[in-house]
A and B are shown apart, each in its own frame.
Chain A
Amino acid sequence: MALDLAKFGKAVALPLGVCAAVAAGSVSAREPYTKEELAKQEQKLIASVDRGSALWHGARADMSNNGLACGNCHPDGAAANPQTFPKFMPMMDKVVAFRDMVNWCIENPQGGKPLDVNSPDMVALEAYAFYLHRGEKIEPGLATRQTVPVAVKSGMGYPRKPTGVGYDTK
Protein backbone atom coordinates (compact mmCIF):
# COMPACT_ATOMS: atom_id res chain seq x y z
CA MET A 1 0.00 0.00 0.00
CA ALA A 2 1.46 3.32 -1.10
CA LEU A 3 1.71 6.02 1.50
CA ASP A 4 -0.08 9.17 0.39
CA LEU A 5 2.07 11.91 1.84
CA ALA A 6 -0.41 14.64 0.82
CA LYS A 7 -2.88 13.35 3.42
CA PHE A 8 -0.30 13.92 6.10
CA GLY A 9 0.65 17.39 4.90
CA LYS A 10 0.54 18.90 8.34
CA ALA A 11 2.42 16.18 10.11
CA VAL A 12 5.19 16.15 7.51
CA ALA A 13 5.67 19.89 7.51
CA LEU A 14 7.56 19.94 10.79
CA PRO A 15 9.45 23.04 11.88
CA LEU A 16 13.01 23.12 10.58
CA GLY A 17 14.55 22.67 14.01
CA VAL A 18 12.62 19.47 14.67
CA CYS A 19 13.63 18.11 11.26
CA ALA A 20 17.28 18.72 12.01
CA ALA A 21 16.99 17.08 15.40
CA VAL A 22 15.27 14.00 13.92
CA ALA A 23 17.86 13.82 11.15
CA ALA A 24 20.76 14.14 13.58
CA GLY A 25 19.30 11.48 15.84
CA SER A 26 18.85 8.99 12.95
CA VAL A 27 22.21 9.47 11.20
CA SER A 28 23.82 6.54 12.89
CA ALA A 29 22.83 3.89 15.40
CA ARG A 30 26.47 3.43 16.29
CA GLU A 31 29.91 4.94 15.73
CA PRO A 32 31.16 4.63 12.12
CA TYR A 33 33.23 1.53 11.43
CA THR A 34 36.91 1.99 12.13
CA LYS A 35 39.49 1.50 9.38
CA GLU A 36 40.40 -1.84 10.97
CA GLU A 37 36.78 -3.01 10.99
CA LEU A 38 36.32 -1.96 7.36
CA ALA A 39 39.53 -3.76 6.40
CA LYS A 40 38.21 -6.94 8.02
CA GLN A 41 34.93 -6.63 6.13
CA GLU A 42 36.81 -6.09 2.87
CA GLN A 43 38.92 -9.15 3.63
CA LYS A 44 35.78 -11.28 4.10
CA LEU A 45 34.34 -9.97 0.84
CA ILE A 46 37.54 -10.62 -1.14
CA ALA A 47 37.76 -14.13 0.36
CA SER A 48 34.28 -14.78 -1.03
CA VAL A 49 35.23 -13.25 -4.42
CA ASP A 50 38.33 -15.48 -4.45
CA ARG A 51 36.25 -18.59 -3.70
CA GLY A 52 33.85 -17.46 -6.43
CA SER A 53 36.71 -17.15 -8.91
CA ALA A 54 37.86 -20.69 -8.05
CA LEU A 55 34.32 -22.03 -8.52
CA TRP A 56 33.95 -20.04 -11.76
CA HIS A 57 37.01 -21.90 -13.04
CA GLY A 58 36.00 -25.41 -12.06
CA ALA A 59 36.91 -25.92 -8.37
CA ARG A 60 33.77 -27.98 -7.59
CA ALA A 61 33.42 -31.25 -9.49
CA ASP A 62 29.66 -31.62 -8.92
CA MET A 63 28.99 -28.36 -10.82
CA SER A 64 29.79 -30.14 -14.11
CA ASN A 65 29.65 -33.60 -15.68
CA ASN A 66 31.46 -32.64 -18.87
CA GLY A 67 34.51 -30.69 -17.71
CA LEU A 68 32.99 -27.30 -18.53
CA ALA A 69 33.10 -24.43 -16.03
CA CYS A 70 31.60 -20.92 -16.10
CA GLY A 71 34.97 -19.59 -17.24
CA ASN A 72 34.89 -21.58 -20.51
CA CYS A 73 32.32 -19.17 -21.97
CA HIS A 74 32.75 -16.23 -19.57
CA PRO A 75 36.44 -15.22 -19.27
CA ASP A 76 36.82 -12.38 -16.73
CA GLY A 77 33.10 -12.86 -16.13
CA ALA A 78 32.44 -11.46 -19.62
CA ALA A 79 28.89 -11.72 -20.97
CA ALA A 80 27.61 -13.00 -17.63
CA ASN A 81 26.07 -9.54 -17.16
CA PRO A 82 25.03 -9.78 -13.49
CA GLN A 83 24.10 -6.07 -13.58
CA THR A 84 21.30 -6.81 -16.08
CA PHE A 85 19.41 -9.16 -13.74
CA PRO A 86 16.63 -9.73 -12.82
CA LYS A 87 15.51 -10.23 -16.39
CA PHE A 88 13.28 -12.39 -18.53
CA MET A 89 15.13 -15.45 -19.77
CA PRO A 90 13.34 -17.24 -22.65
CA MET A 91 14.76 -20.67 -21.77
CA MET A 92 13.09 -20.47 -18.35
CA ASP A 93 10.10 -18.45 -19.58
CA LYS A 94 10.18 -16.14 -16.58
CA VAL A 95 11.97 -13.25 -14.93
CA VAL A 96 14.90 -14.66 -12.96
CA ALA A 97 17.63 -13.49 -10.59
CA PHE A 98 21.32 -13.86 -11.45
CA ARG A 99 21.63 -16.88 -9.14
CA ASP A 100 18.90 -18.70 -11.10
CA MET A 101 20.85 -18.05 -14.30
CA VAL A 102 24.01 -19.43 -12.65
CA ASN A 103 22.10 -22.59 -11.73
CA TRP A 104 20.65 -22.85 -15.25
CA CYS A 105 24.18 -22.80 -16.70
CA ILE A 106 25.37 -25.36 -14.14
CA GLU A 107 22.49 -27.71 -14.99
CA ASN A 108 22.41 -27.28 -18.77
CA PRO A 109 25.65 -26.46 -20.62
CA GLN A 110 27.69 -27.89 -17.72
CA GLY A 111 25.41 -30.86 -16.94
CA GLY A 112 26.05 -30.44 -13.22
CA LYS A 113 24.13 -30.35 -9.96
CA PRO A 114 22.57 -26.94 -9.15
CA LEU A 115 23.74 -25.19 -6.00
CA ASP A 116 21.55 -24.34 -3.03
CA VAL A 117 20.72 -20.70 -3.86
CA ASN A 118 21.34 -19.69 -0.25
CA SER A 119 24.67 -21.50 0.07
CA PRO A 120 27.98 -19.66 0.65
CA ASP A 121 29.23 -21.03 -2.69
CA MET A 122 26.37 -19.41 -4.61
CA VAL A 123 27.04 -16.16 -2.78
CA ALA A 124 30.72 -16.55 -3.71
CA LEU A 125 29.85 -16.95 -7.42
CA GLU A 126 27.70 -13.84 -7.17
CA ALA A 127 30.46 -12.02 -5.30
CA TYR A 128 32.95 -12.81 -8.09
CA ALA A 129 30.61 -11.91 -10.94
CA PHE A 130 29.38 -8.69 -9.32
CA TYR A 131 32.85 -7.66 -8.14
CA LEU A 132 34.12 -7.87 -11.71
CA HIS A 133 31.20 -5.70 -12.82
CA ARG A 134 31.49 -3.06 -10.08
CA GLY A 135 30.81 0.42 -11.41
CA GLU A 136 28.70 -0.92 -14.27
CA LYS A 137 25.28 0.65 -14.56
CA ILE A 138 22.55 -1.45 -12.96
CA GLU A 139 20.25 -2.07 -15.87
CA PRO A 140 17.67 -4.85 -15.68
CA GLY A 141 17.52 -5.79 -19.33
CA LEU A 142 16.47 -8.02 -22.16
CA ALA A 143 17.97 -11.44 -22.73
CA THR A 144 19.41 -10.82 -26.19
CA ARG A 145 21.07 -7.50 -25.43
CA GLN A 146 24.79 -7.44 -26.22
CA THR A 147 26.58 -5.82 -23.28
CA VAL A 148 30.23 -4.86 -23.25
CA PRO A 149 32.29 -6.92 -20.78
CA VAL A 150 34.42 -5.26 -18.13
CA ALA A 151 38.08 -4.61 -18.96
CA VAL A 152 40.22 -6.37 -16.36
CA LYS A 153 43.58 -4.65 -16.05
CA SER A 154 45.72 -7.25 -14.31
CA GLY A 155 45.84 -10.44 -12.26
CA MET A 156 42.41 -11.98 -11.78
CA GLY A 157 40.62 -8.65 -11.50
CA TYR A 158 40.50 -8.44 -7.70
CA PRO A 159 43.14 -7.90 -5.00
CA ARG A 160 44.79 -11.13 -3.92
CA LYS A 161 48.07 -12.40 -2.54
CA PRO A 162 50.74 -11.97 -5.25
CA THR A 163 51.46 -15.36 -6.86
CA GLY A 164 55.07 -14.60 -7.74
CA VAL A 165 54.64 -16.93 -10.76
CA GLY A 166 54.96 -16.00 -14.42
CA TYR A 167 54.13 -12.84 -16.31
CA ASP A 168 51.52 -11.06 -14.19
CA THR A 169 51.92 -11.92 -10.50
CA LYS A 170 49.14 -9.66 -9.15
Chain B
Amino acid sequence: MADLEDMDRRRFLSFTGKAGLSTLVAQAIGVNLGMIDIVHAQNGNRKVIPFRFAMISDSHLYSIADHKFDKHLEDAVVMVNNLNPAPDFVLFGGDVAQNGTEDQLVKGKKILSKLKMPMKVIPGEHDWYLDMGNAWRGLYGDETWSFDHKGVHFIGMNSILVKDFWTPAGLTPKQRMEAMEMLEGPIGGPWGVHEKQLEWLRKDVAKVSADTPVVIFTHSPLWDYYPRWNFQTSDAPEIRKILSKFKNVMSFHGHVHQTVFNRIGNMSSVGALSTSWPWPYPPVTLPYPQSQMYRADPANEQDGMGIQFADMAAGGGIARFQGFEEAMPPFLANGIKMGGGKTDGA
Protein backbone atom coordinates (compact mmCIF):
# COMPACT_ATOMS: atom_id res chain seq x y z
CA MET B 1 0.00 0.00 0.00
CA ALA B 2 2.75 2.42 1.01
CA ASP B 3 4.66 1.49 -2.15
CA LEU B 4 1.63 2.24 -4.30
CA GLU B 5 1.27 5.65 -2.70
CA ASP B 6 4.95 6.40 -3.21
CA MET B 7 4.64 5.41 -6.84
CA ASP B 8 1.62 7.64 -7.20
CA ARG B 9 3.66 10.52 -5.91
CA ARG B 10 6.63 9.78 -8.17
CA ARG B 11 4.40 9.46 -11.22
CA PHE B 12 2.68 12.67 -10.24
CA LEU B 13 5.96 14.55 -10.03
CA SER B 14 7.13 13.12 -13.33
CA PHE B 15 3.87 14.13 -14.97
CA THR B 16 4.02 17.66 -13.64
CA GLY B 17 7.60 17.86 -14.93
CA LYS B 18 6.43 16.85 -18.40
CA ALA B 19 3.57 19.28 -18.28
CA GLY B 20 6.23 21.99 -18.19
CA LEU B 21 5.08 23.83 -15.08
CA SER B 22 7.27 26.71 -14.03
CA THR B 23 10.04 26.32 -11.48
CA LEU B 24 7.94 28.15 -8.94
CA VAL B 25 5.13 25.60 -9.10
CA ALA B 26 7.54 22.67 -9.09
CA GLN B 27 9.11 24.12 -5.96
CA ALA B 28 5.77 24.69 -4.33
CA ILE B 29 4.66 21.12 -5.06
CA GLY B 30 8.03 19.95 -3.78
CA VAL B 31 7.40 21.79 -0.53
CA ASN B 32 3.95 20.24 -0.25
CA LEU B 33 5.31 16.76 -0.93
CA GLY B 34 7.91 17.41 1.72
CA MET B 35 5.09 18.21 4.09
CA ILE B 36 3.37 14.92 3.19
CA ASP B 37 6.40 13.03 4.41
CA ILE B 38 6.44 15.04 7.63
CA VAL B 39 2.75 14.33 8.15
CA HIS B 40 3.32 10.63 7.46
CA ALA B 41 6.10 10.54 10.00
CA GLN B 42 4.02 12.26 12.66
CA ASN B 43 0.64 10.72 12.00
CA GLY B 44 0.55 7.30 10.40
CA ASN B 45 -3.21 7.23 9.80
CA ARG B 46 -3.51 10.58 8.04
CA LYS B 47 -2.54 10.22 4.41
CA VAL B 48 -3.17 12.30 1.35
CA ILE B 49 -2.42 10.65 -1.95
CA PRO B 50 -1.60 13.39 -4.46
CA PHE B 51 -4.28 13.83 -7.08
CA ARG B 52 -5.85 16.41 -9.35
CA PHE B 53 -9.41 17.64 -9.73
CA ALA B 54 -10.79 20.10 -12.28
CA MET B 55 -13.50 22.74 -12.14
CA ILE B 56 -15.77 24.08 -14.87
CA SER B 57 -18.23 26.85 -14.00
CA ASP B 58 -20.93 29.25 -15.15
CA SER B 59 -21.75 28.08 -18.69
CA HIS B 60 -25.03 30.09 -18.75
CA LEU B 61 -26.53 28.05 -21.61
CA TYR B 62 -29.38 29.65 -23.56
CA SER B 63 -32.28 27.79 -25.19
CA ILE B 64 -31.21 28.95 -28.68
CA ALA B 65 -29.83 26.05 -30.78
CA ASP B 66 -26.09 26.10 -31.62
CA HIS B 67 -25.53 29.06 -29.30
CA LYS B 68 -21.90 30.16 -28.94
CA PHE B 69 -21.93 29.28 -25.23
CA ASP B 70 -22.70 25.61 -26.12
CA LYS B 71 -19.41 25.59 -28.00
CA HIS B 72 -17.59 27.27 -25.08
CA LEU B 73 -18.77 24.54 -22.67
CA GLU B 74 -17.82 21.84 -25.20
CA ASP B 75 -14.35 23.39 -25.44
CA ALA B 76 -14.04 23.35 -21.64
CA VAL B 77 -14.96 19.64 -21.59
CA VAL B 78 -12.26 18.92 -24.21
CA MET B 79 -9.69 20.91 -22.20
CA VAL B 80 -10.48 18.99 -19.01
CA ASN B 81 -10.45 15.64 -20.84
CA ASN B 82 -6.98 16.50 -22.18
CA LEU B 83 -5.41 17.52 -18.85
CA ASN B 84 -2.32 15.50 -18.05
CA PRO B 85 -2.30 14.10 -15.42
CA ALA B 86 -6.03 13.57 -15.77
CA PRO B 87 -8.21 14.86 -12.94
CA ASP B 88 -9.87 12.21 -10.77
CA PHE B 89 -13.16 14.08 -10.99
CA VAL B 90 -14.66 17.40 -12.11
CA LEU B 91 -16.75 19.90 -10.22
CA PHE B 92 -19.29 22.06 -11.98
CA GLY B 93 -19.64 25.31 -10.02
CA GLY B 94 -23.24 26.29 -10.84
CA ASP B 95 -25.16 28.35 -13.42
CA VAL B 96 -25.19 25.67 -16.08
CA ALA B 97 -28.34 27.42 -17.43
CA GLN B 98 -29.14 31.10 -18.04
CA ASN B 99 -32.90 31.11 -17.43
CA GLY B 100 -33.34 27.91 -15.39
CA THR B 101 -35.45 26.15 -18.04
CA GLU B 102 -35.41 22.37 -18.30
CA ASP B 103 -34.14 22.39 -21.91
CA GLN B 104 -31.11 24.46 -20.84
CA LEU B 105 -30.37 22.18 -17.88
CA VAL B 106 -30.74 19.11 -20.15
CA LYS B 107 -28.45 20.64 -22.78
CA GLY B 108 -25.81 21.25 -20.08
CA LYS B 109 -26.04 17.71 -18.80
CA LYS B 110 -25.67 16.36 -22.34
CA ILE B 111 -22.49 18.38 -23.00
CA LEU B 112 -21.01 17.64 -19.55
CA SER B 113 -21.70 13.90 -20.01
CA LYS B 114 -18.79 13.89 -22.48
CA LEU B 115 -16.40 14.30 -19.53
CA LYS B 116 -14.29 11.15 -19.15
CA MET B 117 -14.32 11.40 -15.36
CA PRO B 118 -17.07 11.61 -12.69
CA MET B 119 -18.65 14.98 -11.98
CA LYS B 120 -20.13 16.65 -8.88
CA VAL B 121 -22.41 19.65 -9.26
CA ILE B 122 -23.75 22.47 -7.12
CA PRO B 123 -26.49 24.90 -8.23
CA GLY B 124 -26.29 28.58 -9.14
CA GLU B 125 -29.15 31.08 -8.99
CA HIS B 126 -29.70 30.83 -12.77
CA ASP B 127 -30.39 27.08 -12.38
CA TRP B 128 -32.79 27.45 -9.51
CA TYR B 129 -35.42 30.17 -9.37
CA LEU B 130 -37.75 29.18 -12.22
CA ASP B 131 -38.97 26.05 -10.41
CA MET B 132 -37.02 26.28 -7.12
CA GLY B 133 -34.54 23.62 -8.19
CA ASN B 134 -37.02 20.88 -9.23
CA ALA B 135 -35.65 20.26 -12.73
CA TRP B 136 -32.06 20.74 -11.50
CA ARG B 137 -32.47 18.16 -8.72
CA GLY B 138 -34.01 15.67 -11.14
CA LEU B 139 -31.01 15.98 -13.48
CA TYR B 140 -28.08 16.64 -11.14
CA GLY B 141 -29.09 15.16 -7.76
CA ASP B 142 -28.58 16.56 -4.26
CA GLU B 143 -27.34 20.11 -3.88
CA THR B 144 -25.69 19.39 -0.51
CA TRP B 145 -23.11 16.61 -0.39
CA SER B 146 -19.76 15.47 0.94
CA PHE B 147 -17.31 12.69 0.17
CA ASP B 148 -13.76 11.67 0.99
CA HIS B 149 -11.19 11.27 -1.73
CA LYS B 150 -7.58 10.16 -1.21
CA GLY B 151 -7.43 11.70 2.24
CA VAL B 152 -9.24 14.98 1.44
CA HIS B 153 -12.78 15.77 2.64
CA PHE B 154 -14.93 17.42 -0.08
CA ILE B 155 -18.10 19.41 0.70
CA GLY B 156 -20.64 20.93 -1.71
CA MET B 157 -23.37 23.35 -0.64
CA ASN B 158 -26.18 25.41 -2.14
CA SER B 159 -25.25 29.04 -1.36
CA ILE B 160 -27.86 30.86 -3.49
CA LEU B 161 -30.86 30.73 -1.14
CA VAL B 162 -32.75 33.98 -0.47
CA LYS B 163 -35.78 34.97 1.61
CA ASP B 164 -39.14 34.54 -0.14
CA PHE B 165 -39.75 37.85 -1.97
CA TRP B 166 -42.09 36.40 -4.61
CA THR B 167 -45.09 35.25 -2.53
CA PRO B 168 -45.84 38.64 -0.89
CA ALA B 169 -45.41 40.37 -4.28
CA GLY B 170 -47.47 37.74 -6.13
CA LEU B 171 -44.74 37.14 -8.76
CA THR B 172 -44.95 34.37 -11.36
CA PRO B 173 -42.08 31.82 -11.49
CA LYS B 174 -40.76 33.59 -14.63
CA GLN B 175 -40.81 37.00 -12.88
CA ARG B 176 -39.02 35.45 -9.89
CA MET B 177 -36.37 34.00 -12.22
CA GLU B 178 -35.93 37.32 -14.05
CA ALA B 179 -35.45 39.14 -10.74
CA MET B 180 -32.66 36.70 -9.84
CA GLU B 181 -31.04 36.69 -13.29
CA MET B 182 -29.81 40.29 -13.17
CA LEU B 183 -26.48 40.41 -11.31
CA GLU B 184 -27.15 43.92 -10.02
CA GLY B 185 -30.89 43.30 -9.59
CA PRO B 186 -31.76 44.68 -6.14
CA ILE B 187 -34.84 42.50 -5.47
CA GLY B 188 -33.39 39.13 -4.39
CA GLY B 189 -31.06 40.43 -1.69
CA PRO B 190 -28.11 38.61 -0.15
CA TRP B 191 -27.75 34.85 -0.64
CA GLY B 192 -26.81 32.26 1.89
CA VAL B 193 -26.86 28.52 2.69
CA HIS B 194 -29.36 29.02 5.55
CA GLU B 195 -29.73 27.17 8.85
CA LYS B 196 -30.69 23.71 7.55
CA GLN B 197 -27.47 23.35 5.61
CA LEU B 198 -25.42 24.84 8.47
CA GLU B 199 -26.84 22.13 10.74
CA TRP B 200 -25.97 19.53 8.09
CA LEU B 201 -22.42 20.91 7.90
CA ARG B 202 -21.96 20.76 11.69
CA LYS B 203 -22.92 17.09 11.66
CA ASP B 204 -20.93 16.33 8.51
CA VAL B 205 -17.59 17.55 9.86
CA ALA B 206 -18.09 16.41 13.47
CA LYS B 207 -16.23 13.14 12.89
CA VAL B 208 -13.64 14.43 10.42
CA SER B 209 -10.23 14.83 12.07
CA ALA B 210 -8.77 18.33 12.28
CA ASP B 211 -5.70 17.44 10.20
CA THR B 212 -7.81 16.34 7.21
CA PRO B 213 -7.57 18.88 4.39
CA VAL B 214 -11.07 20.14 3.55
CA VAL B 215 -12.26 21.43 0.16
CA ILE B 216 -15.59 23.28 0.11
CA PHE B 217 -17.47 24.15 -3.09
CA THR B 218 -20.13 26.85 -3.26
CA HIS B 219 -21.49 28.99 -6.09
CA SER B 220 -20.74 32.29 -4.32
CA PRO B 221 -17.57 33.31 -2.45
CA LEU B 222 -17.36 32.48 1.27
CA TRP B 223 -16.17 36.01 2.04
CA ASP B 224 -17.58 39.53 1.63
CA TYR B 225 -16.10 40.43 -1.75
CA TYR B 226 -18.81 42.68 -3.28
CA PRO B 227 -22.25 42.06 -1.72
CA ARG B 228 -24.16 44.18 -4.28
CA TRP B 229 -23.41 41.54 -6.95
CA ASN B 230 -23.78 38.73 -4.42
CA PHE B 231 -20.03 38.20 -4.48
CA GLN B 232 -20.68 36.99 -0.93
CA THR B 233 -22.50 34.34 1.13
CA SER B 234 -24.39 35.89 4.04
CA ASP B 235 -23.70 33.02 6.46
CA ALA B 236 -20.07 32.54 5.40
CA PRO B 237 -18.87 33.61 8.90
CA GLU B 238 -20.86 30.69 10.40
CA ILE B 239 -19.42 28.31 7.77
CA ARG B 240 -15.89 29.48 8.54
CA LYS B 241 -16.57 29.06 12.28
CA ILE B 242 -17.80 25.48 11.81
CA LEU B 243 -14.69 24.70 9.73
CA SER B 244 -12.31 26.56 12.08
CA LYS B 245 -11.05 23.37 13.74
CA PHE B 246 -9.34 22.28 10.51
CA LYS B 247 -5.73 23.09 9.74
CA ASN B 248 -6.45 23.72 6.09
CA VAL B 249 -9.72 24.63 4.37
CA MET B 250 -9.76 25.34 0.63
CA SER B 251 -12.80 27.06 -0.83
CA PHE B 252 -13.53 27.00 -4.57
CA HIS B 253 -16.41 29.06 -5.90
CA GLY B 254 -18.04 30.10 -9.18
CA HIS B 255 -20.32 33.12 -9.81
CA VAL B 256 -17.60 35.79 -10.11
CA HIS B 257 -16.55 34.89 -13.71
CA GLN B 258 -12.99 35.98 -12.93
CA THR B 259 -9.80 34.90 -11.23
CA VAL B 260 -9.68 35.97 -7.60
CA PHE B 261 -7.92 34.74 -4.47
CA ASN B 262 -8.24 35.42 -0.75
CA ARG B 263 -7.26 33.95 2.60
CA ILE B 264 -9.12 34.35 5.89
CA GLY B 265 -7.79 32.40 8.86
CA ASN B 266 -7.46 28.74 7.84
CA MET B 267 -9.47 29.21 4.61
CA SER B 268 -7.92 29.98 1.24
CA SER B 269 -10.39 30.73 -1.48
CA VAL B 270 -10.22 30.70 -5.28
CA GLY B 271 -12.81 32.04 -7.74
CA ALA B 272 -13.40 30.31 -11.08
CA LEU B 273 -13.36 31.54 -14.65
CA SER B 274 -16.65 31.06 -16.46
CA THR B 275 -17.12 29.56 -19.91
CA SER B 276 -19.67 32.24 -20.89
CA TRP B 277 -18.41 35.80 -20.30
CA PRO B 278 -15.98 37.53 -17.92
CA TRP B 279 -17.17 39.98 -15.29
CA PRO B 280 -15.32 43.22 -14.48
CA TYR B 281 -13.57 43.48 -11.14
CA PRO B 282 -15.92 45.32 -8.75
CA PRO B 283 -14.97 48.68 -7.19
CA VAL B 284 -13.24 47.26 -4.11
CA THR B 285 -9.62 46.73 -3.18
CA LEU B 286 -8.64 43.08 -3.59
CA PRO B 287 -6.74 41.49 -0.69
CA TYR B 288 -4.53 39.79 -3.31
CA PRO B 289 -4.55 42.17 -6.31
CA GLN B 290 -1.99 40.02 -8.10
CA SER B 291 -4.72 37.39 -8.57
CA GLN B 292 -6.47 39.73 -11.04
CA MET B 293 -6.49 38.54 -14.67
CA TYR B 294 -5.83 40.86 -17.59
CA ARG B 295 -8.74 42.86 -18.92
CA ALA B 296 -10.63 40.76 -21.46
CA ASP B 297 -10.70 41.84 -25.11
CA PRO B 298 -14.35 41.92 -26.26
CA ALA B 299 -13.21 41.37 -29.86
CA ASN B 300 -11.89 37.96 -28.82
CA GLU B 301 -14.95 35.78 -28.23
CA GLN B 302 -13.39 33.49 -25.61
CA ASP B 303 -11.00 35.88 -23.88
CA GLY B 304 -11.25 35.96 -20.08
CA MET B 305 -12.91 32.53 -19.89
CA GLY B 306 -11.65 29.00 -19.31
CA ILE B 307 -11.26 26.19 -16.78
CA GLN B 308 -9.30 25.60 -13.60
CA PHE B 309 -7.79 22.64 -11.82
CA ALA B 310 -6.07 21.92 -8.53
CA ASP B 311 -3.25 19.56 -7.62
CA MET B 312 -3.78 18.32 -4.09
CA ALA B 313 -1.26 17.05 -1.60
CA ALA B 314 -1.03 16.97 2.19
CA GLY B 315 -0.66 20.48 3.53
CA GLY B 316 -2.48 22.07 0.62
CA GLY B 317 -2.74 22.28 -3.11
CA ILE B 318 -1.92 24.35 -6.15
CA ALA B 319 -4.84 25.91 -8.03
CA ARG B 320 -4.23 26.77 -11.67
CA PHE B 321 -6.27 28.50 -14.33
CA GLN B 322 -6.28 27.52 -17.98
CA GLY B 323 -7.85 30.21 -20.14
CA PHE B 324 -9.30 29.49 -23.57
CA GLU B 325 -6.81 32.15 -24.57
CA GLU B 326 -3.37 31.47 -23.15
CA ALA B 327 -2.38 34.80 -21.61
CA MET B 328 -2.46 34.88 -17.79
CA PRO B 329 -0.57 37.26 -15.47
CA PRO B 330 2.48 35.63 -13.80
CA PHE B 331 0.83 34.98 -10.41
CA LEU B 332 -1.94 33.00 -12.12
CA ALA B 333 0.25 31.29 -14.71
CA ASN B 334 2.40 29.93 -11.88
CA GLY B 335 -0.53 28.65 -9.87
CA ILE B 336 -1.98 29.76 -6.53
CA LYS B 337 -0.78 27.97 -3.45
CA MET B 338 -3.67 26.92 -1.20
CA GLY B 339 -3.25 26.11 2.47
CA GLY B 340 -0.05 26.27 4.43
CA GLY B 341 -1.40 27.36 7.80
CA LYS B 342 -3.47 30.15 9.30
CA THR B 343 -2.99 33.77 8.26
CA ASP B 344 -4.63 37.10 9.00
CA GLY B 345 -6.28 37.69 5.63
CA ALA B 346 -8.79 40.44 4.99
Which single residue of chain B is at the shortest CB-CB distance from A150? B283
Residues of A within 8 A of B179 (CB): 165-166
Q: Hey, what's the 0/1 contact readout for A44-85 against B, CB within 8 Å counting as 1?
A: 000000000000010000000011100111111011000000
Q: Hey, what's the 0/1 contact readout for A79-118 against B, CB within 8 Å counting as 1?
A: 1000000000011000000000000010011000000000
Given contacts A66-B64, A156-B184, contact A73 B277 (CB under 8 A): yes
Task: Judge whether A146 and B165 touch: CB under 8 Å.
Answer: no
Within 8 A of B (CB), among A104-150: 105, 108-109, 144-146, 148-150
Task: Judge whether A166 and B98 touch: CB under 8 Å.
Answer: no
Kindly state whether residue A167 has any CB partner on chain B within 8 Å. Answer: yes
Task: Judge whether A167 and B295 touch: CB under 8 Å.
Answer: no
- Whole-angstrom distance from the CB of A133 to the nearest CB of chain B? 12
Task: Judge whether B280 and A149 touch: CB under 8 Å.
Answer: yes
Contact with B186, one of A91, A108, A166 (Cβ below 8 angstroms): A166
Kindly state whether residue B221 has any CB partner on chain A within 8 Å. Answer: no
Given contacts A66-B67, A67-B64, contact A165 B171 (CB under 8 A): yes
Task: Judge whether B189 and A168 touch: CB under 8 Å.
Answer: yes
A93 to B171, CA, bound (A): 47
A25 to B9, CA, bound (A): 88
Task: Judge whether B67 and A167 touch: CB under 8 Å.
Answer: no
For the residues of A in contact with B, the DSSP-based class is loop
Size bracket of the B interface? 20 to 34
Task: Judge whether A144 and B295 touch: CB under 8 Å.
Answer: yes
Task: Judge whether B299 and A90 touch: CB under 8 Å.
Answer: yes
Task: Judge whether A75 and B279 touch: CB under 8 Å.
Answer: yes
Kindly state whether residue A155 has any CB partner on chain B within 8 Å. Answer: yes
Which single residue of chain A is at the shortest CB-CB distance from B169? A165
Given contacts A66-B67, A67-B64, contact A72 B186 (CB under 8 A): no
- Whole-angstrom distance from the CB of A116 to the nearest CB of chain B? 22
Task: Judge whether A154 and B278 touch: CB under 8 Å.
Answer: no
Kindly state whether residue B203 has any CB partner on chain A within 8 Å. Answer: no
Residues of A within 8 A of B279 (CB): 73, 75, 78
Query: 17 A-B contacts, Cβ less than 8 Å apart?
Result: A66-B62, A66-B68, A71-B184, A73-B280, A73-B298, A75-B184, A78-B282, A79-B295, A91-B299, A108-B299, A109-B298, A144-B295, A146-B295, A149-B280, A154-B186, A165-B187, A169-B186
**Residues in A lying within 8 Å of B, measured CB to CB:** 57, 66-68, 71-76, 78-79, 90-91, 105, 108-109, 144-146, 148-152, 154-157, 163-170
Q: Which 6 residue pairs of A and B lie closest in terms of their CB atoms, listed nearest first?
A: A167-B189, A166-B187, A168-B186, A79-B280, A166-B165, A91-B299
Other A-B contacts than A67-B64, A76-B184, A151-B228, 4 sampled, CB-CB below 8 A, are A108-B298, A149-B280, A166-B186, A167-B187
**Residues in B lying within 8 Å of A, measured CB to CB:** 62-64, 67-68, 98, 162-163, 165, 169, 171, 179, 182-184, 186-190, 228-229, 277-283, 295, 298-299, 301
